[in-house]
Amino acid sequence: MAETLEGRVLKALSGFWYVHTPEGMLECRARGKLRFRGLTPLVGDLAKVESLGNGKGSLIDLLPRKNAFVRPAAANLDALVILASAVPPVTDPYLLDRMIAIAELKNCEPILCFHKSDLGRAEELIRTYRSCGFPVAETSAETGEGIPELRRMLAGKLCAFTGNSGVGKSSLLNALSAGLDLETGEISRKLGRGRHTTRHVELFPLGDGIWAADTPGFAAFDAEDVTLELKRRLPELFREFRPYLSECRFPDCAHVRDAGCAVTAAVEAGEIPRSRHESYARLHEELRKVADWSLRD
């Protein structure tokens, strides 16, 4: 009888899953039963594996997940570190707000990280996200600014680093851990955007109980994480809206430009950042156009 072990999926590559177990790393294929249940193992999954010797194994089952993301493809995330930069490639706040809403939907703490602070500061965005109650870091892989603070925010957590290509995810992970040597890319000067240097998702131990996944950056946003639940729960996923949601005149208020809306009144009063409400309205409109039947539950 082969020995059954429990471990964490750290990497998925070319049909193999690399599982960290008490007996070391096992290179696994998935057993047929998993495919039968329609489950694809994700980085971050806790898995039952059978050791076959010589560092090989068979992935036989997955333990229940806390959450699962399509982009980045990862499971059981305690925190999503969302990188943004005020220098090219400059991050569109709408992408941040969209990412944040998806993280909130999945009970995953969004941590905003304004990176490349040596080149430029995102003062206004930092104020905006602090005022909404998000943990915010300001970091530089060049000067080391903010690295100890970010490390403290991440202690004991399983997290993934996400953000547009070229924003500096791999560089920041290297700065967080002396032992890491992830490949990073020069930004194409002509295009002013990154080139997707990182090609797969992989979890690394950073010490202090931190497990962090490097992920390939996105260029635009794909719709795979857009679900019916996101559509239904959108207003409460903007956490700074919550105190106002029960104050609107009409119970079916869409909080866009409706009469008697407490949310839009709070925007006018300067209590909710205008850019956050603009992102909400844009996302609301995008979701409104998508028919319910076409969205996954």
Ligand X SMILES: Nc1nc2c(ncn2[C@@H]2O[C@H](COP(=O)(O)OP(=O)(O)OP(=O)(O)O)[C@@H](O)[C@H]2O)c(=O)[nH]1
Question: What residue ranges bind Zn ion (CB under 5 A)?
Answer: 248, 253, 255, 261, 263
Single out the residue of 176, 264, 179 nearest to residue 212, CA to CA. 176
Report the residue from 58, 131, 184, 275 that binds ligand X according to the rule CB under 6 A: 184
Region from 28-36, 68-76, 169-177, 289-297 binding ligand X, contact rule CB under 6 A: 169-177
Report the residue from 2, 13, 63, 119 that binds ligand X according to the rule CB under 6 A: 119
User: Judging by beta carbons within 10 Å of its beta carbon (0-12, 13-18, 19+), is residue 245 exposed, middle or buried?
Assistant: middle
Q: Mark residues 191-210: x for contact with Mg ion by CB under 5 A, - for none.
A: ------xx------------
Applying CB under 5 A, does 91 fall inside the site for Mg ion? no
> Binding residues for Mg ion, how many (CB under 5 A)?
4
Region from 62-70, 116-124, 246-254, 274-282 binding ligand X, contact rule CB under 6 A: 116-124
Nearer to ligand X, 58 or 184 (CB): 184
Report the residue from 140, 227, 264, 279 that binds ligand X according to the rule CB under 6 A: 140
CA distances from 237 to 86, 107, 129, 209 (A): 25, 10, 14, 28
Side chain identity, residue 180: L
CB of 159 to Mg ion, least distance (A): 15
Applying CB under 6 A, does 187 fall inside the site for ligand X? yes
Strand ranges (DSSP E) for 23-177?
Answer: 24-30, 46-53, 56-62, 68-69, 74-75, 79-85, 109-115, 136-138, 158-162
| Structure tokens given for 239 | 């956490």
Phi, psi dihedral angles at 213 (to 5 degrees)? -100, 130
Report the residue from 42, 47, 167, 210 that binds ligand X according to the rule CB under 6 A: 167
Instruction: Label residues 150-177 b or e (16+ Cβ within 10 Å = b).
Output: bbebbeebbbbbbbbbbbbbbbbbbbbb
CB of 188 to ligand X, least distance (A): 10
Q: Mark residues 158-197: x for contact with Mg ion by CB under 5 A, - for none.
A: -----------xx--------------------------x
d(CA 294, CA 54): 46
The structure tokens 């909080």 sit at 255
Contact between 159 and 106 (Cβ < 8 Å): no
Report the residue from 41, 168, 235, 273 that binds ligand X according to the rule CB under 6 A: 168
Nearer to Mg ion, 21 or 171 (CB): 171
User: Judging by beta carbons within 10 Å of its beta carbon (0-12, 13-18, 19+), is residue 39 exposed, middle or buried?
Assistant: middle
Which of Zn ion, Mg ion, ligand X, none sits in contact with 249, Cβ below 5 to 8 A by type? none
- Please give the residue ranges that form the binding site for Mg ion (CB under 5 A): 169-170, 197-198
